[in-house]
Protein backbone atom coordinates (compact mmCIF):
# COMPACT_ATOMS: atom_id res chain seq x y z
CA UNK A 1 0.00 0.00 0.00
CA UNK A 2 2.99 2.30 0.29
CA UNK A 3 3.32 2.71 -3.43
CA UNK A 4 -0.24 3.80 -4.04
CA UNK A 5 0.00 7.03 -2.10
CA UNK A 6 1.92 8.88 -4.81
CA UNK A 7 -0.63 8.04 -7.47
CA UNK A 8 -3.65 9.36 -5.65
CA UNK A 9 -5.43 12.42 -6.90
CA UNK A 10 -8.20 13.17 -4.43
CA UNK A 11 -10.02 15.45 -6.86
CA UNK A 12 -10.43 12.84 -9.57
CA UNK A 13 -13.49 10.62 -9.66
CA UNK A 14 -12.55 8.34 -12.53
CA UNK A 15 -11.08 4.97 -11.55
CA UNK A 16 -8.98 4.57 -14.69
CA UNK A 17 -7.33 7.92 -14.31
CA UNK A 18 -6.15 7.06 -10.82
CA UNK A 19 -4.90 3.59 -11.52
CA UNK A 20 -3.09 4.27 -14.76
CA UNK A 21 -0.15 6.17 -13.28
CA UNK A 22 0.26 3.55 -10.57
CA UNK A 23 0.67 0.51 -12.76
CA UNK A 24 2.35 2.40 -15.55
CA UNK A 25 4.90 3.66 -13.05
CA UNK A 26 5.36 0.09 -11.85
CA UNK A 27 5.82 -1.19 -15.39
CA UNK A 28 8.40 1.47 -16.12
CA UNK A 29 10.46 0.20 -13.19
CA UNK A 30 10.29 -3.34 -14.60
CA UNK A 31 13.26 -3.56 -16.98
CA UNK A 32 12.08 -6.44 -19.17
CA UNK A 33 8.68 -4.80 -19.60
CA UNK A 34 10.33 -1.63 -20.80
CA UNK A 35 12.36 -3.62 -23.36
CA UNK A 36 9.28 -5.60 -24.45
CA UNK A 37 7.06 -2.54 -24.52
CA UNK A 38 9.56 -0.58 -26.60
CA UNK A 39 9.80 -3.39 -29.13
CA UNK A 40 5.99 -3.61 -29.37
CA UNK A 41 5.78 0.14 -29.95
CA UNK A 42 8.54 -0.14 -32.55
CA UNK A 43 6.67 -2.90 -34.43
CA UNK A 44 3.43 -0.94 -34.16
CA UNK A 45 5.21 2.08 -35.63
CA UNK A 46 6.54 0.00 -38.55
CA UNK A 47 3.10 -1.47 -39.16
CA UNK A 48 1.27 1.85 -39.10
CA UNK A 49 3.77 3.75 -41.24
CA UNK A 50 4.65 0.84 -43.54
CA UNK A 51 3.77 2.66 -46.81
CA UNK A 52 6.07 5.55 -45.88
CA UNK A 53 9.00 3.35 -44.95
CA UNK A 54 9.41 1.45 -48.19
CA UNK A 55 9.29 2.18 -51.89
CA UNK A 56 7.87 -1.22 -52.80
CA UNK A 57 4.42 -2.75 -52.66
CA UNK A 58 4.10 -5.94 -50.61
CA UNK A 59 2.52 -7.79 -53.56
CA UNK A 60 4.70 -6.18 -56.26
CA UNK A 61 6.15 -9.06 -58.32
CA UNK A 62 9.54 -8.63 -60.00
CA UNK A 63 10.54 -12.05 -61.47
CA UNK A 64 13.98 -11.03 -62.80
CA UNK A 65 15.04 -10.04 -59.28
CA UNK A 66 14.03 -13.17 -57.42
CA UNK A 67 16.09 -14.57 -54.52
CA UNK A 68 18.23 -11.47 -54.22
CA UNK A 69 20.53 -11.42 -51.21
CA UNK A 70 20.05 -8.62 -48.67
CA UNK A 71 21.39 -5.32 -50.04
CA UNK A 72 20.81 -1.61 -49.54
CA UNK A 73 18.01 -1.71 -52.09
CA UNK A 74 16.37 -4.80 -50.63
CA UNK A 75 17.23 -4.72 -46.94
CA UNK A 76 16.18 -8.32 -46.36
CA UNK A 77 16.43 -9.59 -49.93
CA UNK A 78 13.60 -10.74 -52.21
CA UNK A 79 11.51 -13.93 -52.27
CA UNK A 80 10.76 -16.41 -55.08
CA UNK A 81 8.60 -13.88 -56.94
CA UNK A 82 11.03 -11.02 -56.45
CA UNK A 83 8.86 -9.34 -53.77
CA UNK A 84 10.78 -7.18 -51.30
CA UNK A 85 11.11 -9.15 -48.09
CA UNK A 86 11.40 -6.07 -45.81
CA UNK A 87 8.22 -4.56 -47.28
CA UNK A 88 6.40 -7.81 -46.75
CA UNK A 89 7.69 -8.03 -43.19
CA UNK A 90 6.42 -4.62 -42.12
CA UNK A 91 3.09 -5.09 -43.89
CA UNK A 92 2.89 -8.52 -42.26
CA UNK A 93 3.37 -6.84 -38.87
CA UNK A 94 -0.04 -5.25 -39.39
CA UNK A 95 -1.69 -8.65 -39.60
CA UNK A 96 0.21 -10.03 -36.63
CA UNK A 97 -0.57 -7.06 -34.40
CA UNK A 98 -4.22 -6.86 -35.42
CA UNK A 99 -4.80 -10.60 -35.10
CA UNK A 100 -2.91 -10.77 -31.81
CA UNK A 101 -4.84 -7.98 -30.16
CA UNK A 102 -8.19 -8.76 -31.76
CA UNK A 103 -8.06 -12.43 -30.70
CA UNK A 104 -7.47 -11.46 -27.10
CA UNK A 105 -10.26 -8.90 -27.17
CA UNK A 106 -12.61 -11.53 -28.57
CA UNK A 107 -11.39 -14.06 -26.00
CA UNK A 108 -12.08 -11.62 -23.16
CA UNK A 109 -15.49 -10.67 -24.48
CA UNK A 110 -16.46 -14.35 -24.56
CA UNK A 111 -14.61 -15.58 -21.49
CA UNK A 112 -15.23 -12.80 -18.99
CA UNK A 113 -19.06 -12.82 -19.15
CA UNK A 114 -19.10 -16.62 -19.06
CA UNK A 115 -16.78 -16.79 -16.05
CA UNK A 116 -18.63 -14.05 -14.16
CA UNK A 117 -22.02 -15.63 -14.83
CA UNK A 118 -20.75 -19.02 -13.67
CA UNK A 119 -19.27 -17.57 -10.49
CA UNK A 120 -22.19 -15.35 -9.59
CA UNK A 121 -25.06 -17.76 -10.10
CA UNK A 122 -23.18 -20.89 -9.06
CA UNK A 123 -24.86 -24.26 -8.80
CA UNK A 124 -26.39 -25.58 -11.96
CA UNK A 125 -25.43 -22.58 -14.14
CA UNK A 126 -21.85 -22.82 -12.97
CA UNK A 127 -21.63 -26.55 -13.69
CA UNK A 128 -23.17 -26.18 -17.14
CA UNK A 129 -20.84 -23.37 -18.20
CA UNK A 130 -17.69 -24.88 -16.76
CA UNK A 131 -18.34 -28.39 -18.12
CA UNK A 132 -18.92 -26.84 -21.55
CA UNK A 133 -15.56 -25.07 -21.28
CA UNK A 134 -13.85 -28.25 -20.10
CA UNK A 135 -15.31 -30.09 -23.06
CA UNK A 136 -14.03 -27.38 -25.38
CA UNK A 137 -10.58 -27.60 -23.79
CA UNK A 138 -10.42 -31.30 -24.57
CA UNK A 139 -10.18 -30.45 -28.29
CA UNK A 140 -6.63 -29.32 -29.13
CA UNK A 141 -6.59 -25.59 -29.85
CA UNK A 142 -5.02 -25.67 -33.27
CA UNK A 143 -7.38 -28.38 -34.47
CA UNK A 144 -10.40 -26.42 -33.28
CA UNK A 145 -9.09 -23.31 -35.05
CA UNK A 146 -8.46 -25.32 -38.23
CA UNK A 147 -12.00 -26.68 -38.15
CA UNK A 148 -13.44 -23.20 -37.73
CA UNK A 149 -11.28 -21.79 -40.52
CA UNK A 150 -12.28 -24.55 -42.89
CA UNK A 151 -15.91 -23.71 -42.17
CA UNK A 152 -15.60 -19.91 -42.20
CA UNK A 153 -12.75 -19.41 -44.66
CA UNK A 154 -9.49 -17.54 -44.00
CA UNK A 155 -9.15 -13.86 -43.26
CA UNK A 156 -8.05 -11.55 -40.45
CA UNK A 157 -11.45 -11.59 -38.77
CA UNK A 158 -12.03 -15.33 -38.95
CA UNK A 159 -8.50 -16.11 -37.76
CA UNK A 160 -9.04 -13.77 -34.81
CA UNK A 161 -12.37 -15.37 -34.00
CA UNK A 162 -10.91 -18.87 -34.18
CA UNK A 163 -7.98 -17.94 -31.93
CA UNK A 164 -10.20 -15.87 -29.67
CA UNK A 165 -12.51 -18.81 -29.03
CA UNK A 166 -9.45 -20.84 -28.15
CA UNK A 167 -8.13 -18.33 -25.65
CA UNK A 168 -11.55 -17.65 -24.11
CA UNK A 169 -11.51 -20.78 -21.91
CA UNK A 170 -8.48 -19.58 -19.99
CA UNK A 171 -10.07 -16.17 -19.49
CA UNK A 172 -13.33 -17.69 -18.27
CA UNK A 173 -11.65 -19.99 -15.76
CA UNK A 174 -9.35 -17.28 -14.52
CA UNK A 175 -12.03 -14.71 -13.86
CA UNK A 176 -14.36 -17.30 -12.37
CA UNK A 177 -11.85 -18.29 -9.72
CA UNK A 178 -11.17 -14.66 -8.84
CA UNK A 179 -14.86 -13.83 -8.81
CA UNK A 180 -15.55 -16.70 -6.42
CA UNK A 181 -13.25 -15.12 -3.88
CA UNK A 182 -14.82 -11.69 -4.38
CA UNK A 183 -18.19 -13.30 -3.66
CA UNK A 184 -17.07 -14.03 -0.11
CA UNK A 185 -15.91 -10.49 0.62
CA UNK A 186 -17.97 -8.38 2.99
CA UNK A 187 -18.52 -5.57 0.52
CA UNK A 188 -20.17 -8.08 -1.77
CA UNK A 189 -22.37 -9.35 1.07
CA UNK A 190 -23.20 -5.76 1.97
CA UNK A 191 -24.26 -4.98 -1.59
CA UNK A 192 -26.37 -8.11 -1.75
CA UNK A 193 -28.02 -7.39 1.58
CA UNK A 194 -29.08 -3.94 0.47
CA UNK A 195 -30.84 -5.38 -2.55
CA UNK A 196 -28.42 -4.45 -5.34
CA UNK A 197 -29.46 -6.11 -8.61
CA UNK A 198 -27.49 -9.06 -10.01
CA UNK A 199 -26.50 -6.91 -12.95
CA UNK A 200 -24.96 -4.23 -10.75
CA UNK A 201 -23.42 -6.80 -8.42
CA UNK A 202 -21.58 -8.41 -11.31
CA UNK A 203 -20.58 -5.25 -13.14
CA UNK A 204 -19.70 -2.97 -10.25
CA UNK A 205 -18.53 -5.31 -7.51
CA UNK A 206 -17.43 -8.57 -9.02
CA UNK A 207 -15.81 -7.53 -12.29
CA UNK A 208 -13.62 -4.61 -11.21
CA UNK A 209 -12.23 -6.68 -8.34
CA UNK A 210 -11.46 -9.78 -10.36
CA UNK A 211 -10.29 -8.40 -13.71
CA UNK A 212 -6.57 -7.95 -12.93
CA UNK A 213 -5.34 -11.47 -13.71
CA UNK A 214 -7.43 -11.39 -16.87
CA UNK A 215 -5.54 -8.32 -18.04
CA UNK A 216 -2.25 -10.08 -17.35
CA UNK A 217 -3.43 -13.20 -19.14
CA UNK A 218 -4.58 -11.06 -22.07
CA UNK A 219 -1.16 -9.53 -22.60
CA UNK A 220 0.40 -13.00 -22.51
CA UNK A 221 -2.38 -14.19 -24.82
CA UNK A 222 -1.41 -11.70 -27.54
CA UNK A 223 1.85 -13.62 -27.93
CA UNK A 224 0.02 -16.94 -28.17
CA UNK A 225 -2.36 -15.51 -30.75
CA UNK A 226 0.50 -14.17 -32.91
CA UNK A 227 2.09 -17.58 -32.75
CA UNK A 228 -1.25 -19.22 -33.51
CA UNK A 229 -1.80 -17.00 -36.54
CA UNK A 230 1.71 -17.82 -37.76
CA UNK A 231 1.06 -21.56 -37.31
CA UNK A 232 -2.26 -21.37 -39.17
CA UNK A 233 -0.72 -19.33 -41.99
CA UNK A 234 2.21 -21.73 -42.10
CA UNK A 235 -0.30 -24.52 -42.64
CA UNK A 236 -1.96 -22.46 -45.36
CA UNK A 237 -5.13 -21.87 -43.34
CA UNK A 238 -4.69 -18.34 -42.11
CA UNK A 239 -4.95 -15.11 -44.00
CA UNK A 240 -5.08 -15.88 -47.74
CA UNK A 241 -1.71 -15.76 -49.56
CA UNK A 242 -1.07 -12.62 -51.54
CA UNK A 243 -1.49 -10.70 -48.27
CA UNK A 244 1.79 -11.06 -46.40
CA UNK A 245 1.75 -12.40 -42.87
CA UNK A 246 4.73 -13.56 -40.84
CA UNK A 247 3.30 -17.03 -40.88
CA UNK A 248 2.90 -17.41 -44.61
CA UNK A 249 6.27 -15.72 -45.23
CA UNK A 250 7.83 -18.37 -43.04
CA UNK A 251 5.88 -21.06 -44.84
CA UNK A 252 7.16 -19.88 -48.24
CA UNK A 253 10.71 -19.46 -47.00
CA UNK A 254 10.57 -22.99 -45.69
CA UNK A 255 10.09 -24.32 -49.24
CA UNK A 256 13.28 -22.57 -50.43
CA UNK A 257 15.27 -23.26 -47.29
CA UNK A 258 18.23 -24.72 -49.20
CA UNK A 259 18.58 -22.09 -51.91
CA UNK A 260 17.67 -19.01 -49.82
CA UNK A 261 18.01 -19.76 -46.10
CA UNK A 262 18.21 -16.03 -45.24
CA UNK A 263 14.47 -15.72 -46.07
CA UNK A 264 13.62 -17.78 -42.97
CA UNK A 265 15.50 -15.46 -40.72
CA UNK A 266 13.43 -12.25 -40.79
CA UNK A 267 9.91 -13.58 -40.16
CA UNK A 268 11.20 -16.16 -37.67
CA UNK A 269 13.07 -13.64 -35.57
CA UNK A 270 10.20 -11.15 -35.83
CA UNK A 271 7.71 -13.67 -34.44
CA UNK A 272 10.10 -14.71 -31.68
CA UNK A 273 10.81 -11.13 -30.59
CA UNK A 274 7.20 -9.95 -30.68
CA UNK A 275 5.90 -12.97 -28.74
CA UNK A 276 8.69 -12.53 -26.20
CA UNK A 277 7.93 -8.82 -25.89
CA UNK A 278 4.29 -9.46 -25.11
CA UNK A 279 5.15 -12.04 -22.50
CA UNK A 280 7.68 -9.68 -20.88
CA UNK A 281 5.00 -7.04 -20.61
CA UNK A 282 2.57 -9.66 -19.30
CA UNK A 283 5.05 -10.75 -16.64
CA UNK A 284 5.63 -7.15 -15.70
CA UNK A 285 1.92 -6.46 -15.43
CA UNK A 286 1.48 -9.52 -13.25
CA UNK A 287 4.20 -8.37 -10.90
CA UNK A 288 2.87 -4.84 -10.73
CA UNK A 289 -0.77 -5.79 -10.28
CA UNK A 290 -0.17 -8.56 -7.75
CA UNK A 291 -0.78 -6.97 -4.36
CA UNK A 292 1.44 -9.52 -2.64
CA UNK A 293 4.42 -8.33 -4.66
CA UNK A 294 3.65 -4.68 -4.10
CA UNK A 295 6.67 -2.73 -2.96
CA UNK A 296 9.15 -5.37 -4.04
CA UNK A 297 9.60 -4.21 -7.59
Partner 1 sequence: MSMTTSTRSVLDIRDLQVHFPVNRGVLFIKNKGAVKAVDGVNLSIAPGETVGLVGESGSGKTTVGRAIIGLVKPTGGVIEFEGNNVLEMNSAALRQFRRQVGVVFQDPYGSLNPRMTAERIISEPLVAHHLFNSKQERRARVQELLEIVGLNAGMASRYPHEFSGGQRQRIGIARAIASDPTLIILDEPVSALDVSIQAQIINLLDELQDRLQIAYLFIAHDLSVVRHASDRVAVMYLGKLMEVAPRDAVYDNPLHPYTKALLSAVPVPDPEIEKKRERTILTGDIPSPTNPPSGCVFRTRCPIADEACAESIPELREVTPGQHVACLKV
Of 38, 125, 127, 197, the one binding partner 1 (CB under 8 A) is 197
**Minimum separation from the CB atom of position 9 to partner 1 (A):** 9
Residue from 2, 195, 259, 292 that binds partner 1 (CB under 8 A)?
195
Q: Does 1 bind partner 1 (CB under 8 A)?
A: yes
Residue 16 lies near partner 1 (rule: CB under 8 A): no
Residue nearer to partner 1 on the CB measure, 151 or 194: 194
* DSSP letters spanning the chain: -TGGGGG--TT---HHHHHHHHHHHHHHH-HHHHHHHHHHHHHHHHHHTHHHH-SS-TT---GGGTTPPP-SSSTT-B-TT--BHHHHHHHHHHHHHHHHHHHHHHHHHHHHHHHHHHHHH-HHHHHHHHHHHHHHHTS-HHHHHHHHHHHH--SHHHHHHHHHHHHHHHHHHHHHHHHHHHTTSHHHHHHHHTT--HHHIIIIIIHHHH-HHHHHHHHHHHHHHHHHHHHHHHTT-SS-TTS--HHHHHHHHHHTTTT-THHHHHHHHHHHHHHHHHHHHHHHHHHHH-GGGTTT-
Which region, judged by CB under 8 A, interacts with partner 1, from 94-102, 166-174, 204-212, 266-274? 204-212
Q: How far is the CB of 194 from partner 1 (least distance, A)?
A: 5
Residue 6 in the binding site for partner 1 (CB under 8 A): no
Per CB under 8 A, the segment of 21-29, 50-58, 184-192, 250-258 that binds partner 1 is: 184-192
Q: Does position 2 bind partner 1 by CB under 8 A?
A: no
Q: Which stretch binds partner 1 (CB under 8 A): 10-18, 83-91, 115-123, 276-284?
A: 10-18
Q: Which of 117-125, 202-210, 228-236, 241-249 is the region at the interface with partner 1 (rule: CB under 8 A)?
A: 202-210
209 lies in the site for partner 1, by CB under 8 A: yes
Q: By CB under 8 A, which span of 96-104, 182-190, 225-233, 268-276 interacts with partner 1?
A: 182-190
**Chain residues that interact with partner 1, rule: CB under 8 A:** 1, 4, 8, 10-13, 15, 18, 185-187, 189-197, 200, 204-205, 208-209
Amino acid sequence: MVKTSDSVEPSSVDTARIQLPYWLAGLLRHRLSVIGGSFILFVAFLAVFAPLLTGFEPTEVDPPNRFLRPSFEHLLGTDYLGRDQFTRLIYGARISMVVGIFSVVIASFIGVPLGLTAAHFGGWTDSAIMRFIDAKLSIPGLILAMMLLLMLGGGVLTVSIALGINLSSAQARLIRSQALSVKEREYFHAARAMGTSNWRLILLHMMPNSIQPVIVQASLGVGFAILGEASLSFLGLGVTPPTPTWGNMLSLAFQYMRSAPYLLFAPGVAILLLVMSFSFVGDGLRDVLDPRLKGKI
